[in-house]
């Protein structure tokens, strides 16, 4: 069922998509030095060919170290080459190869960031590759995009959340194709709470953006709940209303001190 979520909320959530790519590296943990992954030979050959082409076009002096790291399956080098290939708008094959590389890195069952995975993204999947795939799928396969943002956002084995990934998971869950408002509220609030739980992995911009999106979505959902309770043919179930109450306020209303004051 498609609920009538007012268009302005969706517009407000979409406005910050390009801005939220900025903290992707700031919020990421350092990769373990020497971390590597096994990559299919045909994909590796395409990455190596791309680097050699770039050398010819831009007169790079020495690419031997880059090629060596690629052949060793160095995660950081593979990710960076894939990112460069994905930005090559003139070559569809390069963009496809970049996706293949990111999938190898993101869907790994073990790696520099270990934990148990599922859906999109693997157990020890490379976080930045998972985020890259989240953005890549966000226009055409939102459910898959959410699964990658969630996997990256929840922090893997180091238990350090990724604020931008959490925000984007919440943003997509609120869009018309998915409309999972309870989870949207949960992930937007989780993104906001990173500033308190792990301030070194948060940015002021994303913290404020998450709070703004959360509050606007909450306001519209309150209006939707009121409409459901006053009109015949409820467009939202009692269970959904109850689930949303868990995220009724980004400041965890009612506050303990307020409750005590009222009881005095």
Kindly tell me if the per-residue pLDDT of 18 is higher than 70.
no
Confidence (pLDDT) at 26: 42
Kindly tell me if the per-residue pLDDT of 182 is higher than 60.
yes
Share of the chain residues as helix, strand and coil, in percent rounded to the nearest 5: 65, 0, 35
Kindly tell me if the per-residue pLDDT of 244 is higher than 90.
no
How far apart CA 130 and CA 31 sit, in angstroms, is 14
How far apart CA 125 and CA 110 sit, in angstroms, is 7
Please report, for the chain, the start and end positions of each structural domain, with discontinuous segments joined by +.
1-21+163-264, 28-161
Per-residue pLDDT reduced to its tens digit, 113-152: 433 334 466 556 899 999 999 999 999 999 999 999 999 9
47 touches 66 (CB < 8 A): no
Per-residue pLDDT reduced to its tens digit, 25-56: 343 444 444 589 999 999 999 999 999 999 98
């Amino acid at each position: 069922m498609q609920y009538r979520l007012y268009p302005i909320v969706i517009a407000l959530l979409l406005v910050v998509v390009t801005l939220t790519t900025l903290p992707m590296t700031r919020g990421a943990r350092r990769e373990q030095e020497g971390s590597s992954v096994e990559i299919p030979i045909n994909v590796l050959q395409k990455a190596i060919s791309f680097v050699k082409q770039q050398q010819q076009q831009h007169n790079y002096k020495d690419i031997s170290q880059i090629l060596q790291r690629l052949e060793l399956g160095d995660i950081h080098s593979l990710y960076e080459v894939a990112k460069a290939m994905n930005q090559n708008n003139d070559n569809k094959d390069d963009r496809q190869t970049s996706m293949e590389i990111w999938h190898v890195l993101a869907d790994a069952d073990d790696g520099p960031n270990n934990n148990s995975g599922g859906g999109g993204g693997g157990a020890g999947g490379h976080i930045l590759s998972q985020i890259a795939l989240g953005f890549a799928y966000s226009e055409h396969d939102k459910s898959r995009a959410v699964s990658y943002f969630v996997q990256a956002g929840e922090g893997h084995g180091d238990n350090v959340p990724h604020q931008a990934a959490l925000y984007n998971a919440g943003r997509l869950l609120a869009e018309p194709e998915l409309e999972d408002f309870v989870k949207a509220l949960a992930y937007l609030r989780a993104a906001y709470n990173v500033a308190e739980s792990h301030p070194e992995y948060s940015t002021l911009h994303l913290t404020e953006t998450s709070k703004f999106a959360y509050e606007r979505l909450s306001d519209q959902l309150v209006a939707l709940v009121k409409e459901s309770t006053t009109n015949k043919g409820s467009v939202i179930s009692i269970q959904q209303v109850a689930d949303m109450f868990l995220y009724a306020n980004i400041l965890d209303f009612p506050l303990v001190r307020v409750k005590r004051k009222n009881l005095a």
